[in-house]
Chains A and B, each alone.
Chain A
Amino acid sequence: MSEYLLEMKGISKEFPGVKALQNVDFQLKAGEIHALLGENGAGKSTLIKVLGGIYIAEAGEILIDGRHVDINSVNAARDNGISIIHQELVQVPHMTVAENIFLGREPMGKFGVDNRTMIKESQKMLDRFDLGINAASEIYDLSIAQQQMVEIVKAISFNCRILVMDEPTSSISDREVSQLFDIMRNLAAQGVGIIYISHKMSELNEVCDRVTVLRDGTYVGTFVVAETTKDQLIAQMVGRELDQYYTRDHVKNTEVVLKCEHIDDGKKHHKRVSDVSFEVRKGEIVGFAGLVGAGRSETMQCLFGLTRGSTGTVTLNGEKLNIKTPVDAMKYGISLVPENRKVEGLYHIQSVSFNSTIEVLHEFINNLVVNTKREREITQEFIEKMHTKTPSHEQAVTNLSGGNQQKVMIGRWLATKPKILILDEPTRGVDVGAKAEIYEIMNELTKQGVSIIMISSELPEIINMADRVYVMYDGRITGCIDYEDVSQESIMKLATLEADQTHSGAAGDLNRQEAKNHA
């Protein structure tokens, strides 16, 4: 018996023009949770796809229990006990949990599919993990986290011994994350080897035993998590010491430029914004913290003219604004970079150039003449300003890494020359190197007099970047903290105000609602 459950040796994979993996090694013990770490484009997903039989490696071999195996198809991977839970869940929303678990291998009775057996078997599996999920309910009605649990149960039902989880926590709440981690530990205790991919460094300490770092398609090293500091790991990932991760020259008591009073989304049901007032000073980064569903994004959407029927007064430099549509907002110099770049931000199949210039078409399209030279100039200007890495202006954005997509998107809004820039989760799904760059650009912008409103669920980001932090809970602002006084505890106290008392049910509902919106 080999020491390792899984060994990948000298794996190489090439795509036209790119060496995605070069001589990469990876070893997984039975019963361990092993993190796979690396920036976007480091080769994590390629490695996983090789393991899952989606790509065939040009060189290298895969050993399970010390024996050579050929994994040349998805079915071969499954037969060898490998299950992959992809970042984008692949379930059929209008089928029941049981039907999804047994998809393609439904138990047959005398009259077709034996529904009762299917539900009974599924329920048994679900109950093993004490999930509180009803096997007869539709996937559509579950939260994202619950859908993920179902996916795990499905994987285990294939007798999987190697479970790969690709960024499972990117869209679920903290409470659900800890439930997920419990399940992972439980599985590991039963001898399953888990490969865990995540951008969130803080999660490593909590749940992982060892970590393997990849950089630019090469193997950097494998470390025991408990013996390695976060800074060491980041340095391994980016290949250099990040002298400064957060760049921020704080400002204080500059003049007030934007004043929002009594903002309300005017909704009767599912109200997310009620009587929100705040102000923004010149050159400031104003943070908005709170739990998922606290109404931060919705507040900004009201301000930006995206919510019909919203009320409240907005004053910019003493002038009262009348914002009915996003076009009005942009006219006044207010821009909003949305939270979910996949859904709300990017035109995926279109080029970098198209995506960079869609807000400023009037600068080069006039009277049936397209000034392509000007179009190229604008595109180039913001590629340089944002340090976007793209092979050409014509590259489809869908082929860029997450960090570069985010840069294209921020660049697009910078092209409108905003005085007030609203960034909703500016670094979600972005690797550490690009994050540091985005922070630097934000700092630079504020020096030029731009004021930034930053919504973020990453507390370190809020704490280090914001000059003042507004905290929201259940559609209201519960407090404002200056940067000198800000701390994880002070924010969480305001963010969960009342949460333990009367409104705990409501908060749960909001999370659920949020999850549905994502689905």
Chain B
Amino acid sequence: MLKVKRYFKDNLGIIIALAAMILFLYVYPKTHNTFLTQNNIFNVLRQSSTNLMLACGMTMVIILGGIDLSVGSIIAMSGVLGAAAVVWHGLPEIVGILIAVLSGVLFGLLNGLVIAKTKIPPFIVTLASMNIAKGIAYVYSEGKPIRCMTDAWKFLGAGNVAGVPTPVITMFIVFVVAVLFLNRTKIGRHIYAVGGNDTAAKFSGINTAKVKFIVFSFSGLMAGLAGITIASRLYSGTCTSGDGAEMDAIAAVVVGGTSMSGGSGKLGGTLIGVLIIGILNNGLNLMGVNSDWQYIIKGVVILLAVYTDFLRNRKKAS
């Protein structure tokens, strides 16, 4: 009970923002009949699912004091590689899925390796791997979508389990695993330590290289998983999918209260951040707002959410 109370207290600002958005969409005449239907709720959750996967990895990366720009491109690459394995090389779907996920992990491992072993900032390293992954997706698919329509392929992104969309289930499993990993393991604490003070962590005997390696690998894994989920949902591996996905993930993490300077943040906040962005997208669509305008509104909302949180923290500190 205490934990639930604490959770509400810590995230009060964004919980109120989320509640206000839901209330508004429920009251607003144009969306009153469509917003709070089971159909639309699943819709929001499904659309948010891949963002939550990315955001789970991104939360850890940002707590660590880093950033991972490559996840969006990894989505495209893993989708293309997975679909190509099935369609062009006749491999079973499950192998295609594994290839997709593993390609994401591989990129995460490489990011982690370079970041852990050199002093090159994560921003630069993942900026490079972002381009490399994107390039692989384009080169391999020759710029064309690789269509794959089998039921086994569609299951992960477009299927259902007992009426619940599969990606929503995947999302919850991923979230629980991430929470357990970050809050209930020694490595989890070490992530906060390295992000809080890298040098102190070294003096503490924490293998900082290992921690960085693990976190970036996890982020890669999440991107691979999101990639195959999207490819499955689109019935195809496409080199343009996942464009800008890293920015949505970063936005969700930051709205969720994780500090860009590292060392602090919680996955619980990230969850709300993801929902805020998901509902915002969904609500604007339902309201029939022009998609060009949506960008502007989204930008303003992100800024407002972070600013109110900043004000609240400053009040708390003084």
Q: How does the 8 Å CB contact mask read for A345-383 relative to B, with 1 for contact and 0 for none?
A: 111111000100011011001001110000000000000
Which single member of A15, A327, A344, A347 contacts B205 (CB below 8 Å)? A327
Given contacts A16-B318, A326-B205, A370-B184, contact A348 B199 (CB under 8 A): no
A330 interface contact, C-beta 8 A: yes
How far is A345 from B204 in the complex, measured between Cα atoms in Å?
8
Provide the residues of chain B in CB contact with A370, threshold 8 Å: 183-184
Query: In the complex, which residue of chain B has the Cβ closest to the Cβ of A331?
Result: B205
Task: Let me know if A306 is at the binding interface, CB within 8 A.
Answer: yes
Check if A344 sits within 8 Å of B189, measured CB to CB: no
Contact A347-B196, Cβ < 8 Å, known A326-B205, A330-B205: yes
Contact A368 B196 (CB under 8 A): no
Contact pattern, A 278-307, Cβ under 8 Å of B = 1, otherwise 0: 000000000000000000000000000110
Which B residue sits closest to A397, measured CB to CB? Answer: B196
- Complex partner residue of B203 from A345, A348, A368, A369, CB under 8 angstroms: A345
Number of interchain pairs (Cβ within 8 Å): 70
Instruction: Give the chain B neighbours of A338 by CB distance below 8 A.
Output: 200, 203
Query: A358 and B189 in contact (CB under 8 A), knowing A368-B184, A370-B183?
Result: yes
Residues B186 and A343 in contact, CB atoms below 8 Å apart: no
- Asked if A190 is at the interface of the complex by the 8 Å CB criterion, the answer is no
B203 CB contacts on chain A under 8 angstroms: 306, 326, 336, 338, 344-345
Interface of B is mostly: helix
B-side contacts of A345, CB under 8 Å: 197, 200, 203
Q: Which of B185, B189, B204 gathers the greatest number of chain A CB atoms within 10 Å? A: B204
In the complex, chain B residues 140-193 whose Cβ is within 8 Å of any chain A Cβ: 180, 183-186, 189, 192-193
In Å, the complex CA distance between A326 and B208 comes to 12
Interfacial chain B residues near A359, Cβ < 8 Å:
204-205
Within the complex, what minimum Cβ distance (angstroms) separates A39 from chain B? Answer: 23
- Output the least CB separation between B206 and chain A (Å): 8
Report the contact-size class of chain B (Cβ under 8 Å from the partner).
Answer: 20 to 34
Which residues of chain B are within 8 angstroms of A362 by Cβ–Cβ distance? 186
* Given A344-B199, A350-B192, A370-B184, A326 contacting B263 (CB threshold 8 A): no
Interface flags, B32-62, vs A, CB<8A=1, else 0:
0000000000000000000000000000000
Question: A365 and B197: CB pair below 8 A?
Answer: no
- Whether the Cβ atoms of B200 and A347 lie closer than 8 Å is yes
CA distance A169 to B27 in the complex (A): 65
Once A16-B318, A325-B205, A336-B203 are accepted as A-B contacts, the answer to whether A361 and B196 lie under 8 Å apart by CB is: no
CB–CB A343/B200 < 8 A: yes
Do A350 and B263 have beta carbons less than 8 Å apart? yes
A346 touches B205 (CB 8 A): no
In the complex, what distance in Å separates the CA atom of A349 from the CA atom of B313?
13
What separation, in Å, do the CA atoms of A359 and B203 have in the docked complex? 10
**Chain B residues near A350 (CB-CB < 8 A):** 192-193, 196, 263-264
The verdict on A15 contacting B200 (CB below 8 Å), with A349-B264, A358-B193 known, is: no
Q: Please tell me if the beta carbons of A348 and B189 are within 8 angstroms of each other in the complex.
A: no
Q: Is A329 an interface residue (CB 8 A)?
A: yes
List A299-330 residues whose CB lies under 8 Å from chain B: 305-306, 325-327, 329-330
Distance (whole angstroms) from the CB of A517 to the closest CB of chain B: 11
Interface check B30, CB cutoff 8 A: no
In the docked arrangement, what's the CA distance between A329 and B205, Å? 9
List chain B residues, Cβ under 8 A from A329: 205
Does B202 count as interface, using CB distance less than 8 angstroms? yes
Instruction: Please indicate the chain B residues that have their CB under 8 angstroms from the CB of A354 in the complex.
Output: 189, 192-193
Q: How far is the CB of A303 from chain B (nearest CB, A)?
A: 13
Interface mask (B46-80 → A, CB under 8 Å = 1, otherwise 0)? 00000000000000000000000000000000000
A329–B263 CA distance with the chains assembled, in angstroms? 26
Known: A329-B205, A344-B199. 5 other contacts (CB 8 A): A305-B205, A306-B203, A347-B200, A350-B196, A358-B204
